[in-house]
Amino acid sequence: MNRPKMGFGDHFRLWVLAFFLVFQSGYGFYLPGSYPHKYVVGDELSVKVNSLTSIDTEMPFSYYSLPFCKPEGGVKDSAENLGELLMGDRIENSPYKFKMYTNESEIFLCRLDSLSGDQFKILKKRIDEMYQVNLILDNLPAIRFTKKEGYFLRWTGYPVGIKIQDVYYLFNHLKFNVLVHKYEETNVARVMGTGDAAEVIPTIGKGASDVPGYMVVGFEVIPCSIMHNADSVKNLKMYNKYPSPIKCDPSTVAMPIKEGQPIVFTYEVTFEESDIKWPSRWDAYLKMEGAKVHWFSILNSLMVITFLAGIVLLIFLRTVRRDLTRYEELDKEAQAQMNEELSGWKLVVGDVFRAPSNASLLCVMVGDGVQILGMAVVTILFAALGFMSPASRGTLITGMLFFYLILGIAAGYVAVRLWRTIGFGDPAGWMSVAWKASCFFPCFAFLILTVLNFLLWSSHSTGAIPFSLFVILILLWFCISVPLTLIGGYFGARAPHLDYPVRTNQIPREIPPQKYPSWLLVLGAGTLPFGTLFIELFFIMSSIWMGRVYYVFGFLFIVLILLVVVCAEVSLVLTYMHLCVEDWKWWWKSFFASGSVAIYIFLYSINYLVFDLKSLSGPVSATLYLGYSLFMVAAIMLATGTVGFLSSFWFVYYLFSSVKFD
């Protein structure tokens, strides 16, 4: 039987359909390669524990640093990626076990015979510092609902205990509610719809087993403080039934902790069938409070900044174009006469491309800025497409690290090519510039991380980077980033340099005295880029320091693009203003005109510490906060400064290429 040949239209439809299938799967599962796990009734479900966390100290601690029950087979670490370790996550197994769709109550877990003095002190300290216990089931964090003034509030995890009238109470009984949804085999045609799609793409057949299964789509926990009879459980083993009924009432507490007394831990679990489907199971975690304010504030900010930037750009282009048009309309004699009576930016023609002071440092900072900016753009783009979901812990940090290492080649190329351009094509010293570009920001980062790590080590926090991970990070830098930066530098040295459109005089021109210090304008210029960022910055800071999930990367990507545009425009305008008052030292000023936004971000960080993180306790926690803020601000300064410098360099090159001087 002869089959009709597929034309271009059929091929195009197939490719479009395949694209939408990939897009749909990425959207539906948040992360390509992440699939639902089918559990048959009676299958064992194991709960894992993550580090204890607190917004009061910002220092995570191991779950088993407190006197909790340990699993029968001993504590075992789960496989963790680089990002999880850097974030301070320590995921371990726990004694909590369920059977799929099997309700159980009054399950005895363990009996702690006597609370020692040290255990009593650390429990009180962790309760005072409002530490939360973080449990995980099937990759879903435990979520807790509380009601306040008629509103339901969502929390991830549950508190270790509570202090009421100088008495400390421990939550020693947990009531779990597991939401499940019937497992459905993936049917591509049903997902895509009927018609041509169903004809072109066959449905996937039934699975190997017809046994009905369930998927975990929700994991809720209710902590209770119960006064157990410690003597009645002396002969019980783990997972035996507690001899008397347990009534879990979260509104009352009954288990005060005292030194030397025994503590009994119990739990219960119920399963509830839910309408929530697998792709929507993370929705409860990704909903952000004040969503309307969030969207409208960002939209308002985007509109205002775009309007301001448009006005600035319009005025700027009209002014420059008028100068160029007037000059080009004159005949040669008039041009010659005009050259003798030059004013403004035309006077600095012989000095505008004079090499700046500390030229190699400028090249290194611009190269590192390109590397950081490229990492930010690619990472946020991948996150916006759903490849770095919160469902896959640590992927965001791991992705940032990976893209940073790979983009070392861009840092080396840009730094060395700029070095050759400043040196009028002389490639001498390119190896030194490339080496400095590979070391400048990483050394600064390692210095800050080492200092902060000593603070975390001294506090026995899981947030401390293990020594082995430090060695791995150094090896990654030395074996991947450094060679790639040197390779990029090699290609930069081989690439043709830019020839300046005008000659540079041997004797530098004297800069006339200015009415206002030029650096004052440079520092003030950072306010406009900060205006594009500060609203989004609040949500990012809340995500990092308040334990909230941040997942509006689409808006963040738009804000990043707008920030780049505004940084470029602000630097252009300031460079033009400096040239108009015969100030030819524009190189560093163009870098810091847009890079000065970092100063305002750091000031905002201090403001956030004082007014939003009022409960942050202790000098160690404040030092950690300021250290990480300084690290973030340095990266932002390099990225935004690079945008401003490169745009100003392009503008100056274009401006003086457009007019011919004798």
What is the per-residue pLDDT across 509-525, written as a single tens digit (0 to 9) for each? Answer: 777 777 777 788 888 88
CA–CA separation, 488 vs 188, rounded Å? 45
Give CA angle at 435 (429, 436), nearest 5°.
Answer: 90
What is the per-residue pLDDT across 300-356, written as a single tens digit (0 to 9) for each? Answer: 667 767 776 776 677 667 666 666 666 566 555 555 554 544 556 667 777 888 888
Q: Would you place residue 4 in the very low, low, confident or very high pLDDT band (cuts 50, 70, 90)? A: very low
User: Helix, strand or coil for residue 137?
Assistant: strand
User: Helix, strand or coil for residue 226?
Assistant: coil
Of 27-31, 59-63, 312-316, the poorest mean pLDDT is in: 27-31
Token code pair at residue 402: 């990976």
Q: Nearest Cα to 531, choosing from 286, 312, 382, 291? A: 312
What is the per-residue pLDDT across 396-438, written as a single tens digit (0 to 9) for each? Answer: 999 999 999 999 999 999 999 999 988 877 777 899 999 999 9
User: Helix, strand or coil for residue 242?
Assistant: coil
> What is the Cα Rg of the chain in Å?
31
Which residues neighbour 142 within 8 Å (Cβ) at sequence distance 6 or greater? Answer: 134, 135, 136, 156, 157, 158, 176, 219, 220, 221
- Any long-range contacts for 162-165 (C-beta under 8 Å, 24+ apart)? 162/127, 162/225, 162/253, 163/127, 163/128, 164/253
Which residues neighbour 67 within 8 Å (Cβ) at sequence distance 6 or greater? Answer: 112, 115, 119, 123, 263
Rounded to an integer, the average pLDDT of 386-395 is: 80
CA–CA separation, 311 vs 413, rounded Å? 35
By CB atoms closer than 10 A (0-12, 13-18, 19+), residue 308 is middle
pTM here is: 0.82
Rounded to an integer, the average pLDDT of 267-290 is: 84
Q: Of all residues in the chain, what percent are helix, strand and coil, respectively (each to 5)?
A: 50, 15, 35
What is the per-residue pLDDT across 629-651, written as a single tens digit (0 to 9) for each? Answer: 999 999 999 999 999 999 999 98
β-bridge mates for residue 104, sequence order: 269
